[in-house]
Amino acid sequence: MNSQPADYEPTRHRDRGTWLVEFTGRVLVVCPRCGGRALVVPLPGVAAPKYFSELLFQPRRLACADCGVVANWMAEERDGGLVGAVPGTEDPFFRRPLWLQTRCAGRNLWAYNEAHVAALADYVGARLRERRASPTRSMFARLPAWMKTAEHREGVLAGLATLTALAQLSAPADRSDAAYERGDGPRHHGSLYFRGRPY
């Protein structure tokens, strides 16, 4: 979580190639039973991955502290390899709507967890953005244009502040009206993992 005060606004952002998958280790989702906030994390006892891309193949557990629902996810096996999850606008593993969603500039603003929100706020709030990574892999380079424009900066920062507040809430009544939608719809699993190397 970002330790900076709420009114902190960085003047410079250096893109070091952060991948979206780096934020999938902990995902806040809408509970399939009660509609409150549930959490998707790696199964207990699973070793930490050597590479960030391995996060998409790690067994996961969905758990809701409110209603007690628990579900497990395992990567599908196909042709001698594992078929991993694909990050997108919903939970990559259980296909649940993300808990952290809000309306912003006529679109949905979303994040997987508080660290994801803080990283986006640092980027959006920066007056100077430096790219030091491949644009094809960096999460920031792949953000939609409306999030990057100065015209929407204040609105996006306000939306991210809403997500920060929403992360502290968990009751079904706290659910954002934006969290009822599936965004761009379910994504097909497509990443393969062979002999310790992601493809």
pLDDT, tens digit, for every residue of 153-184? 999 999 999 999 999 999 999 999 998 755 43
> 43 vs 62, 71, 82, CA distance in Å?
9, 10, 17
In which band, very low, low, confident or very high, does the pLDDT at 138 lie, cut at 50, 70 and 90?
Answer: confident
Q: What pLDDT shows up at residue 6?
A: 55
> 109 vs 38, 97, 199, CA distance in Å?
19, 13, 29
Domain ranges of the chain: 12-183
- Better-predicted residue by pLDDT, 10 or 38: 38
Global confidence as pTM: 0.83
Query: What residues have CB less than 8 Å from 106, skipping those under 6 apart?
Result: none
